[in-house]
Amino acid sequence: MDIILLGPPGAGKGTQAQRLVEHHGMLQLSTGDMLRETRKADTELGHKVADIMDSGGLVSDEIVSAMIDAKLADMGPETGAIFDGYPRTAAQADQLDDILARHGRKLDHVIELEVNEEALVERITGRFTCANCGAGYHDVFKQPATPGVCDKCGSTEFKRRPDDNEETVRKRMQEYRGKTAPILPGYEQRGIVSRVDGMASIEDVTHAIDSILTR
Ligand code: AMP
């Protein structure tokens, strides 16, 4: 089963994708994570990607679609893909259709996480992760049980995303509204869109997604 998780930055796509990986053995394909790897490299592409990400803009369709194509080429047909943060433009949605067809796959569900944008700014600007294992935390909503120590691996090193500041977040939301939300009607015409209340608790959102996948 291949699905898209759609929603503005901070809607919980990454959190829910990780839970689908744990519960259903699917694979999370996050273009944001792939680009965070790319930007680490001291190359022309790495610097270009870093500049775009820090501005809250979008990296070129060709670059992200090529990344997705390469990941799918390495995946067996029995493993379901969760597209997290991709597609983000109409061109990427078209490219994804071509890529899936080439790999003999098809899209089963597009799940939109509906959220209140103002609440998202608080959600995003407070989030941080364990630098060692990637476990996610939040200044207000989810502190580690022992302050300063990761619940999962015991590490005391944490990090924040450079693009999780208010100015960049607002630009990312503007990009979502202007370029990503308009791809939904095309998927609606195919009858594969489901909506979930992304402001509900993490557990409740997971539950709602599970019932969509098993119906
Ligand atoms: P994310 O982790 O999904 O919030 O993505 C972080 C940043 O990476 C975005 O603000 C964009 O700059 C870039 N990015 C991630 N996915 C895409 C995509 N599908 N198309 C273009 N840019 C992307």
Three-state secondary structure call for residue 177:
helix
What pLDDT is stored for residue 215 in this prediction? Answer: 82
Ligand 1 centroid to residue 31 C-alpha, Å: 6
Q: What is the reported pLDDT for 31?
A: 97
pLDDT digits (tens, 9 = 90+) for 51-98: 999 999 999 999 999 999 999 999 999 999 999 999 999 999 999 999
**Closest alpha carbon to 21 in 83, 73, 70, 77:** 83
pLDDT attached to residue 119: 87
Helix (H) or strand (E) holding 62: helix 61-73
Question: Are the CB atoms for 63 and 93 separated by under 8 Å?
Answer: no
Per-residue pLDDT band for 184 (boundaries 50, 70, 90) equals: very high
In testing the pocket of ligand 1, which one of 83, 88, 92 has its CB within 8 Å of the most ligand atoms? Answer: 88
The closest alpha carbon to 158, from 183, 138, 178, belongs to: 138
Write out the H or E segment, with its range, that includes residue 172.
Answer: helix 166-175
161 is catalytic: yes
Instruction: Spell 86-118 as b/e; 16+ CB within 10 A means b.
Output: bbbbeebbebbeebbeeeebebebbbbbebeee
pLDDT tens track for 128-151: 999 999 999 999 989 999 999 999
The Cα 38–Cα 47 span in angstroms is 9
* Mutation to probe ligand 1, out of 29, 40, 52, 59 (largest number of atoms < 8 A from CB): 59
DSSP run (H or E) holding 158: strand 158-159
Angle at the Cα of 114 (from 15 to 123), degrees rounded to 5? 50
Q: How much is the average pLDDT of 203-208?
A: 97
> How do 136-138 and 127-130 pair as beta strands?
antiparallel
Q: Annotated catalytic, 13?
A: yes
What is the band of 117 on the pLDDT scale with cuts at 50, 70, 90? Answer: confident
Percent of the chain with pLDDT over 70: 100
- Amino acid at residue number 184: L
Question: Is 127 labeled as catalytic in the residue annotation?
Answer: yes
Q: How far apart are CA 156 and CA 136, in angstroms?
A: 13
| Residue 118: per-residue pLDDT | 84
Annotated catalytic residue, options 19, 39, 71, 88: 88
Q: Ligand 1 in contact with 28 (CB < 6 A)?
A: no
Cα–Cα dist 77/156, whole Å:
39
Average pLDDT across the chain, whole number: 95
The pLDDT tens digits of the residues spanning 22-45 come to: 999 999 999 999 999 999 999 999
Q: What is the crossing angle of helices 90-102 and 61-73, to 10°?
A: 20
